Chain A
Amino acid sequence: MKDKSSRAAMQSTRPAQQDDSIAVEAQRWQSDTRGPYVQAHPERRDEFVTQALQWSVNPLYTPADLEAVDFDYLQDLGFPGEYPYTRGTTPNGHRSDFWTMTQVTGFGKGLEWSKRARYMLDQGLSGLILEYDLATTNGYDSDDPLVEGEVGRAGMALDSLEDLEQAFDLPFDKLQYLMSVCNAPQPVNLAMIIAALEKKGVDPKDFVLHIVNGILIEYTCVGRYIYPPKDGLRLATDCIEYIIRHHPNWAPISIIAAQLQPAKANPVQEIAFSLTIACAYIDAVLERGLDIDTVAPYFHFVINVDMDFFEGICKLRAFRKCWARLMRERYGATRPEAMQIRMMTSPTTTALTLQQPLNNIGRLAIMATACALGGAGESMTTPLHDEAHSLPAEDAIRVGAALQHIVAHETGVAETIDPLAGSYYVETLTKQLETAAFAEMDTIFEMGGALKAIESGYFQRALGREQYERNRDIEQGKRKWVGVNHLQLEEEKRQIDIFRLDDSVEAEQVSKVQALRARRDQAAVDRALDEVRIAARNGDNMVPPCLQAVRAYATHGEICHAMRDVFGEHRTDSQLGGI
């Protein structure tokens, strides 16, 4: 992967096709002007490389570099809103509409979340992301002894329909979009939301529910899985199929490349792993009798950018093109919508430091600008500058929301479409990323696709190697990081507040779910759970039986356990397999 293809601009060996006067001039510049200067002023480092891929960066890029990577304007870029979509999937960039500006929410009990969600909508956000606590995402109820101390901490505690009924006390006229992040128990979570919307009388057509449904990446790096990978894939496929058939205006899947990136996937791996993972879902959905032109437009990606400005920007551009090519070349898609990637972009939290946390505001602004320059996608989400410390505080939420408005309204980066196109460096790097990503995808398809790559630990081992090597580079000072290995403060005082959760949240949540179990119709619950087991065994779509169970007030953990009875649980040591 770390192919140090140094393609020095001055030494392009390719025969110039037309006029090679620029190459000749560049050589002259090197020997007459730059060479002597560098002799007198040695370069500040031995090797200039990109941050994640460690690809050599030349001192200067010229048209000769574009020629070296076979760049062709019409083939490689085309025009915005047209194949191959490198310059954007919409014909007018962000001149008609800005991207949707969102932020992560979701702490404590349903009521608590609702209060904070209202606060965020009042700050000018139109979409919300709902995250759940680790008990929920791992398929346990709040009173399970395994999850003691975790209830309501990393997100909202969701034990039953009751919790969502309370959480959805929201102005649904202001809320256009809700993203729900709950991968392993996805059919249960989807059923909970559908049932809660029914109870609130919200017309599902007036509102977009977006489920992340990203179980394959959980096996790859995040670890919040429950069932074996093939069963996980089947449950995800059930949800995709159900949404396409019943709520066609909703979004049934996101491939969160933004989870691969913090696990230290480099941009080539991010593109190749997430696109082959998308193919695994697509193949499974196509087997259910849907066609590619219907299915592909439902796929959505969440993509981070890191601090290397150009690696980030070029990654977003390459992502659009790789998706378009893959849909057309591998699946024979014909509808434009099938070839237009949908994406949410985000500055990465892994660039943020625990040290001198206010510096993170600067980092976030730079990364948000990179997202915008890379095309931003339909939406952008910004993490908060104090995330490295703990769960975010309210002040940080306000600053985070303001950041996106600053980038959108004050910098001018969204006034023209794809403003960096044509930069010799940007186009060279974009093309190199595309080529390397396709080579890696070929390797993965060769081994049987993403599911096989997960089952054999290929992805996990690749990431483990990157994690160790990249950390070593920082420790050895090869990469400077302000506050971490550069410009550290001797006696650093903490500068910001931390959002704290009251311990009583857990106790209340536990008694709430226990009270529910005591008063509901237990026989109805038992029947519904049996139906869940039967459907799991028979290979039926799991959403309808989960919906029945949720309506009967079976708890989240109970439904997940019913499926555990059939599928078993996944264990792996390849989390540490990068050896």
Chain B
Amino acid sequence: MDVAKELLGGNMLAGGRAIRWLDDRDPRGAEVLASVFPHTGRAHIIGITGPPGAGKSTLANAMISQLRSRGRRVGVVAIDPSSPFSGGAILGDRVRMARHTLDADVFIRSIGTRGQAGGLSRSAHDACLILDAMGFDVILVETVGVGQDEIDIVALAHTTVIVGLPGLGDEVQAIKAGLMEVGDVFVINKADREGYEATRQQFELMLHLRAEGRQDSSLHWSPPVLRAVALNDEGIAEIIDATEAHAQFLRDNGEFERLSGQRERAQTLGLMGEALLQLALEKTDPDVLAAVEAREIDPYAAARLLLRSL
């Protein structure tokens, strides 16, 4: 099977295989990517992030339905944490999206973080490129949703959807600290629960402060705060309206391509970093490291020494 050619034609088996190769750092993955890269850059990448329990998978599921009803082909990259001890993972996000399994215009891929901190997998970017090349119009990336490292999603996505839920003090604090700065669309899911109104007001207030803090008004996108009950498909059309409006806004300002470009640049630098470290490790004198371990030389001096010998 010519994986590159087949996946450009939309073949799921080939698409799945290409993502696997890239995730495994199999050299064949890079070859495929080289062939399909010219066909990427079209898809609208939407990041979905928020604290655990906010209902990200359920929201993604509802968003798929809404996007499909508008004729969009949808790719999904769902990320779950890998165990730092065994490297294994239980990837269960697709369960909530099971109703789309047999839709030929939906492709759901689960990936583990495989040692990458930051709520994203090291392969999330690659998976998006492959899905983009396969011709999916919209790609939803669901993050792990822990801590404040969801900021990484911003580097990957054109549009970042932040999901919160009513009445959770601590979570709101977490959102305040990091996510409020980066979100493009804010969703309060499970809005039929107590505390919705208070949470909405908090969100609005924080967004107001964020707007005031930003003197440059070159970008006039003001993030909406939307109400949803994803389990019952409530409020989902409004969310998709907002993500589409945001994509249009980016395109109108030339931001869409700029963000895509920035992403590829960041990915390049990241890959270079990885490769350089690998290269350096291969040439590293183990005796120097042993000397550090034995506390004979300090880490800074050792690093300088090792770099010089390269």
**A-to-B contact residues, CB < 8 Å:** 228, 456, 568, 571-573, 575-577, 579
Contact = CB atoms under 8 A, between A and B. Distances in A.
A573 B53 contact: no
A235 B98 CA distance: 25
A576 B93 CA distance: 11
A577 B232 CA distance: 22
The list of the 10 closest CB pairs from A to B, nearest first, reads A573-B95, A573-B92, A576-B92, A579-B90, A571-B96, A573-B96, A576-B90, A568-B232, A571-B98, A228-B231
Contact of B93 (A228, A572, A573, A579): A573
B59 to A, nearest CB: 13
Given A571-B95, A575-B95, 9 more contacts: A568-B232, A571-B96, A571-B98, A572-B95, A572-B96, A573-B96, A576-B90, A576-B95, A579-B90
B57 A573 contact: yes
A451 to B, nearest CB: 13
A568 to B, nearest CB: 6
A571 B90 CA distance: 18
A456 B53 CA distance: 8
B18 to A, nearest CB: 26
B234 to A, nearest CB: 11
Contacts of A573: 57, 92-93, 95-96
Interface of A is mostly: loop
Contacts of A577: 92
Nearest to A575: B95
Nearest to A578: B90
Interface in B65-119: 90, 92-93, 95-96, 98-99
A573 B92 CA distance: 6
**In terms of DSSP, what is the predominant structure of the interface of chain B?**
helix
A494 B92 CA distance: 37
* Interface hub of B57, B98, B99, B231 (most chain A Cβ within 10 A): B231
A93 B98 CA distance: 52
A228 B55 CA distance: 15
Nearest to B58: A571
A568 B90 CA distance: 27
A572 B95 CA distance: 7
A463 to B, nearest CB: 15
Contacts of A576: 90, 92, 95
A573 B53 CA distance: 12
B274 to A, nearest CB: 29
A86 B99 CA distance: 49
A456 B57 CA distance: 14
B95 to A, nearest CB: 4
Contacts of B231: 228, 568
Nearest to A567: B232
Contacts of B232: 568
A579 B52 CA distance: 13
B129 to A, nearest CB: 27
Interface centre among A228, A573, A575, A577 (most CB of B within 10 A): A573
16 contacts: A456-B53, A568-B231, A568-B232, A571-B95, A571-B96, A571-B98, A571-B99, A572-B95, A573-B92, A573-B93, A573-B96, A575-B95, A576-B90, A576-B95, A577-B92, A579-B90
A228 B229 CA distance: 13
Contacts of A568: 231-232
Contacts of B95: 571-573, 575-576
Contacts of B99: 571
Interface string B32-62: 0000000000000000000001000100000
A577 B98 CA distance: 17
Nearest to B94: A573
A577 B57 CA distance: 14
Contacts of B53: 456
Nearest to A570: B231
B230 to A, nearest CB: 11
Interface string B173-202: 000000000000000000000000000000
A291 to B, nearest CB: 27
B103 to A, nearest CB: 16
A398 to B, nearest CB: 43
Nearest to B232: A568
Nearest to B53: A456
Interface in B187-244: 231-232
A575 B93 CA distance: 12
A252 B90 CA distance: 39
Contacts of A228: 231
Contacts of A572: 95-96
A577 B90 CA distance: 9
Nearest to B89: A579
B36 to A, nearest CB: 32
A572 B92 CA distance: 10
Contacts of A575: 95
A559 B232 CA distance: 21
A471 to B, nearest CB: 16
A568 B99 CA distance: 12
Nearest to B99: A571
A573 B57 CA distance: 10
Contacts of B98: 571
Nearest to A464: B90
B72 to A, nearest CB: 22
B85 to A, nearest CB: 13
Contacts of A579: 90
Nearest to A456: B53
Contacts of B96: 571-573
A573 B93 CA distance: 7
B203 to A, nearest CB: 22
